[in-house]
Chains A and B, each alone.
Chain A
């Protein structure tokens, strides 16, 4: 069975500081991994995805994530936080095992302080 754990329901950083949002997963087969962002009163928007190509994945808005199989992790980073990055971020894992389903983490809310 697949599962996703996001460490920290809330993360607060100062503007210009490094953003690190942690995600660990479990999957019985090679997974597809995703990060989504949700702004208030909106649906989720895809930030980036890992689908077994390069382990370092670059996404929109300056975010990137590294797939580490040995650690079963897919942490999201951004070198310098902007106020506009304040949102909720969801890590997700998918398997294509006779039906393509995705499991989402509980989400991490990012606060950015001026």
Chain B
């Protein structure tokens, strides 16, 4: 998607290992978000950021941490990956009421 990229696109990791997903934007938007998507649950907010070093928890934040040291980058870290964190992770950016622009997603499998 134009203006927002996620890396990696796919990752397989072992239970108990830390994992970091990266979201990079070129739109200079203030708000950035991490969601996970699971069948039957839609998208659930993990963490979001409203500025450099300003972050807050979403509804499913346990086991996840985030960091935003620059406007353009928002990192999501799974501190010790578990099988329940197998999911598709989406980053999004927003200019308030204009809606979200989503990245292409990261498919994470924890074995």
Residues of A within 8 A of B103 (CB): 43
Residues of B within 8 A of A94 (CB): 97
The 8 A CB mask of B73-111 against A (1 = contact, 0 = none) is 000000000000000001010101111111111000000
The 8 A CB mask of A63-100 against B (1 = contact, 0 = none) is 00000000000000000000000000010001010011
Residues of chain B at interface, number, CB under 8 A: 27
Residues of A within 8 A of B100 (CB): 34, 36, 44, 46, 102
CB distance from B19 to the nearest CB of A (A): 20
Does A42 reach chain B (CB closer than 8 Å)? yes
A106 and B42 form a contact (CB under 8 A): yes
Residues of A within 8 A of B42 (CB): 90, 104-107
B43 and A104 form a contact (CB under 8 A): yes
> A99-B50, A104-B42, A106-B42 are contacts. A34–B96 as well, Cβ < 8 Å?
no
A100 and B31 form a contact (CB under 8 A): yes
> A43-B1, A90-B43, A101-B45 are contacts. A49–B98 as well, Cβ < 8 Å?
yes
Q: When chains A and B are docked, how far (Å) is the Cα of A100 from the Cα of B65?
A: 19
CB distance from B27 to the nearest CB of A (A): 14
Interface size class of A (residues with CB under 8 A): 20 to 34
The 8 A CB mask of A17-39 against B (1 = contact, 0 = none) is 00000000000000010101000
Does more than half of chain A's interface fall in helix, strand or loop, or is it mixed?
A: strand
B48 and A32 form a contact (CB under 8 A): no
Q: When chains A and B are docked, how far (Å) is the Cα of A96 from the Cα of B101?
A: 17
CB distance from A76 to the nearest CB of B (A): 14
Closest 9 CB pairs of A and B: A43-B102, A106-B42, A104-B43, A104-B42, A46-B99, A51-B97, A44-B102, A32-B97, A49-B99
The 22 listed contacts between A and B (C-beta, < 8 Å) are: A36-B99, A36-B100, A36-B102, A42-B104, A42-B105, A43-B1, A44-B100, A46-B99, A49-B98, A51-B97, A96-B96, A99-B56, A100-B31, A100-B94, A100-B97, A101-B48, A101-B58, A102-B33, A102-B94, A103-B45, A106-B41, A106-B42
